[in-house]
Structure 1
Amino acid sequence: MEMALVTGVSKGLGYEISKLLIEQGIEVIGLSRNTNERLQNLITQSEGRFSHYPVDLINVEEIEAIIKEVSKQIVERKPQKLYVINNAGMVEPIERLGYLDNSAIQRAVQLNLLAPMLMNNTLLKELRDEELEVIIVNVTSGAAERPIHGWSVYNATKAAINMHTKVAGLEQERIDSAHRIVAFSPGIMDTEMQGTIRGAEKEAFIELDKFQDFKTSGALRQPVQVAKALVDLVLNKRLINGHVYDVNELI
């Protein structure tokens, strides 16, 4: 039996990943701040293979407690393999340095960087004595690799997640662990995040026209297509610890 823990499951990529994993017979524990009709339907239709914990991962004080609770559920179920998909994230604030709101910077760093780092650390600590393979996927972005005007916070958090992944993967290799820790860059998708980007102010984000054209030209992939690539990667490929996988190399 296999299980998965997925964050940001109420919409977009997180929802589609959860749905696909359930269809593969994997029990999924979903974390998200909100619930909605689609999520409720998924719970009902999963026949017990999907459970949901409401949690706001921006409030990092909540993370250790919720992950310890989830870990107890995992230990009780005794899966042979656990997939962890750190998908929750935010592109905001989109603004130039010197115009940013400090509290917005803090929220983004907490969700994009601190939340997955705390989750990964707590999970490996709580499951240290269990005989199971843990596969952690940190969802990153191409923004980790190139500077984008107005995205100093998002760029920085995703670059940090990439380095967290590389170091954590190195550590697992050093002890010849069965665990795998990788990152996955999903590319540009037709999600609410892209809507937020298109709603930015031109002065704050000089690439606005380019991102608006992604929508009008049909360049945005659907989340289900990207989810299929990620699920196929973790279920069917031999993962390289610390590697950053790009969806464009998988589709």
Structure 2
Amino acid sequence: MTQAPFPPQLTVLTGASRGMGLAMAGQLLQPGHTLLCISRQTSDTLALQAQSTGATLVQWSQDLTQGEAASARLAQWLAGQAAQHFTSATLINNAGMIPRIGPLREADAPDLAQALRVGLEAPMLLTAAFLRATQGWSATRKVLNISSGLGRRAMASQAGYCAAKAGLDHFTRCLALEEAQKPGGARVCALAPGVIDTDMQVQLRGADATAFPDQARFAALQSGGLLSSPAEAATQVLAFLARADFGSQPVADVRD
């Protein structure tokens, strides 16, 4: 029995070179799909997988601290796509970084600025470019912003990361109100993916406990086996994205 072809979908994914982003990219490489990955580094593994699955993979080595350049490049690339070919077009803002862990008074200014640019400024600029470029498309359009429980719960020595994720949540709420007023507006959601065993978790549990009061809690998450693998988290996030009611809640948690 011949398997039905996958409907052609377009996905733009940031932070695809490692962790959950890399796992999501691998799962998105389905026959007939087009995936644009925007990361600091490209992946030979993804390139080989794309060849074997029949997916179209485009990889950009792009510094997301330069959000204006990234968004302009995205707008130009989308303008060159055959819009009528795709049944859906999705932007997943996954890239993020934790600035130096410690009290804000001890923050390194360039490090903090970089984290805010990657975690908040770039997603806003890329989303604006994506929505402008696709506003005439008939495809279902979605924006998924990967948030965090720390955007909704304050934590000492994490002001930069918490602020970026809280800003991500709130700009998504604003965006949902805007898109709801437009016929065929995009469906949007800021989604917390749960606690995942990634490089960020290594940073948190390896931090100096005298500078980070919650260090022991993050260490206990690992020792207690409470962390999801990147692949498991990616599966959950993409299943949430595929739900018929995606976007009904502009801010959500994959565990709800």
Scaled by the length of structure 2, the TM-score of the pair is 0.90
CA distance in 2, matches of 1:140, 1:232: 16
CA 1:121–1:217 in 2, change beyond 3 Å: closer, same or farther? Answer: same
User: What amino acid is the match of 2:58?
Assistant: S
Q: Does 1:60 align with 2:95?
A: no
Residue 36 of structure 1, CA deviation: 4.0
CA distance in 2, matches of 1:197, 1:40: 31
Q: 1:156 aligns with which of 149, 160, 163?
A: 163
Aligned to 2:232: 225
CA 1:23–1:76 in 2, change beyond 3 Å: closer, same or farther? Answer: closer
Paired residue secondary structure (1:161): helix
Residue 65 of structure 1, CA deviation: 2.6
User: What amino acid is the match of 1:91?
Assistant: I
Paired residue secondary structure (2:208): coil
Contact 1:169/1:241, CA 8 A, preserved across alignment = no
Aligned to 1:127: 134
Contact 1:165/1:242, CA 8 A, preserved across alignment = no
Paired residue secondary structure (1:98): helix
Residue 106 of structure 1, CA deviation: 0.5
CA distance in 1, matches of 2:73, 2:114: 19
CA distance in 1, matches of 2:52, 2:157: 41
Residue 120 of structure 1, CA deviation: 0.4
Residue 244 of structure 1, CA deviation: 1.5
Residue 72 of structure 1, CA deviation: 2.7
Percent of counterpart pairs with the same letter?
25
- 1:107-122 matches, within 5 Å, as 107-122=114-129
Aligned alpha-carbon RMSD (Å)? 1.8
Segments of 5+ residues of structure 2 without an aligned counterpart are 1-7
CA distance in 2, matches of 1:181, 1:42: 29
Contact 2:205/2:219, CA 8 A, preserved across alignment = yes
Residue 239 of structure 1, CA deviation: 1.6
Residue 37 of structure 1, CA deviation: 4.2
Tell me which moved more, 193-202 or 162-171. 193-202
Q: 1:86 aligns with which of 93, 113, 133?
A: 93
Scaled by the length of structure 1, the TM-score of the pair is 0.92
CA distance in 1, matches of 2:200, 2:43: 18
Residue 20 of structure 1, CA deviation: 1.3
User: What amino acid is the match of 1:16?
Assistant: A
Q: Deviations over 1:49-106 (max 9, x none)?
A: 2221111111224212321233134346731210111000012221102100111111
Residue 139 of structure 1, CA deviation: 0.3
CA distance in 1, matches of 2:169, 2:139: 24
CA distance in 2, matches of 1:24, 1:238: 25
Q: Does 1:13 align with 2:20?
A: yes
Tell me which moved more, 21-30 or 199-208. 21-30
Q: Does 1:47 align with 2:54?
A: yes
- The runs of 4+ residues in structure 1 deviating greater than 4 Å are none
